Amino acid sequence: MTRLADRYGWEGLARRVPIRCFQYDPSVSSSLKFLRKAPWARAKVEALYIALVRDEPAT
């Protein structure tokens, strides 16, 4: 979650995955709490993370 927030920012995350925990008073802890309860949202965020990792250059 921190890697996504660092890369896209909370506004960017909210545009890519429009869920309240990214739009209103976002934090890593509130996002993780919500994503544990919402499999549909977790799947979208996981897909975004996989795309982020895949597109980063190898070090």
Mind spelling out the 3-state secondary structure of the chain? Answer: CHHHHHHHHHHHHHHHCCCHHHHCCCCHHHHHHHHHHCHHHHHHHHHHHHHHHHHCCCC
Q: Is the predicted pLDDT of residue 59 greater than 70, yes or no?
A: no
Q: pTM for this one?
A: 0.85
Give the pLDDT band (50/70/90) at residue 55: confident
| Yes or no: domain 2-55 corresponds to CATH 1.10.720.30 | yes
pLDDT at residue 47, as a whole number: 96
Q: Which residue has the higher pLDDT, 46 or 59?
A: 46
Domain ranges of the chain: 2-55
